[in-house]
């Protein structure tokens, strides 16, 4: 968990640093000064949305699990083969930020509240770790390498279905959504603080 938090924190820190080190001329093209410590908040939000969109995908959570599956085959009613596969895999959850637009962001000036409507969390492909897998073969037919390879192919297909079912569990999906909300809120809060709007609250929802 610590390593994942550090990984997610990198773009947030880099994003804030970019605002600090940007030359004044560049900053003024994004933020219009209308008075002492006053800014055009909508332009700040617009710049933030474009920055997020340029990220394309935001990694919000990684889940590593292990599945155990087994397949059995029989030929001529007497010749059999079986194979058990135990394999770990990693599933990543993302926000597709290319679907975020300024229309998804509203600013209530009186309430000093920014609302952000997030795109759905999507699950990436499963990355199995075959170098850490265990296979247990049994039966006369497993003396054939071709038969072993066929069993392994069938087992990985079953393992993919099993891992997908695990990763789609409500606990993991809810955790990914919470992390996505926190990440996006931070992305909006950092530039608002930098330009003198620390009292504006950001609320991201799905």
Write out pLDDT tens, residues 129-155: 999 999 999 987 778 899 999 999 999
Q: Average the pLDDT over each of 7-11, 187-191, 199-203 and give the range with the smallest value.
A: 7-11
Whether 35 shows a pLDDT value over 80: the answer reads no
DSSP structure string for 114-138: EEEEPPPEEE---EE-GGG-EEEEE
Per 3-state DSSP, the chain is made up of helix, strand and coil in percentages (nearest 5) of 50, 30, 20
CA distance 104 to 196: 23
Query: How large is the average pLDDT for residues 19-26?
Result: 38
Query: How large is the average pLDDT for residues 159-164?
Result: 97
Residue 159 structure tokens: 């393992």
Could you tell me if 45 and 107 are in contact, meaning their C-beta atoms sit under 8 angstroms apart? Answer: yes
pLDDT band of residue 33 (cuts 50, 70, 90) is: very low
The conformation of residue 102, written as its DSSP 8-state character, comes to G
Cβ atoms within 10 Å, residue 94:
19
């Amino acid at each position: 968990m610590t390593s994942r938090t550090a990984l997610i924190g990198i773009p947030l820190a880099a994003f804030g640093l970019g605002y600090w080190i940007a030359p004044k001329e560049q900053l003024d093209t994004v933020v219009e000064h209308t008075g002492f410590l006053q800014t055009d908040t909508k332009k700040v939000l617009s710049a933030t949305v474009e920055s997020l969109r340029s990220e394309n995908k935001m990694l919000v959570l990684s889940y590593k699990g292990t599945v155990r599956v087994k397949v059995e085959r029989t030929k001529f009613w007497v010749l059999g083969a079986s194979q058990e596969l135990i394999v770990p895999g990693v599933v990543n959850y993302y926000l597709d930020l290319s679907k975020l637009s300024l229309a998804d962001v509203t600013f209530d000036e009186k309430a000093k509240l920014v609302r952000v409507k997030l795109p759905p969390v999507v699950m990436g492909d499963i990355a199995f770790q075959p170098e850490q897998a265990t296979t247990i073969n049994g039966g006369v037919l497993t003396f054939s390498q071709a038969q072993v390879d066929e069993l392994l192919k069938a087992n990985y297909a079953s393992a993919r279905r099993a891992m997908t079912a695990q990763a789609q569990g409500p606990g993991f999906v809810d955790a990914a959504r919470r992390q996505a909300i926190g990440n996006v809120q931070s992305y909006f809060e950092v530039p608002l603080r930098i330009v003198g709007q620390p009292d504006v609250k950001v609320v991201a929802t799905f």
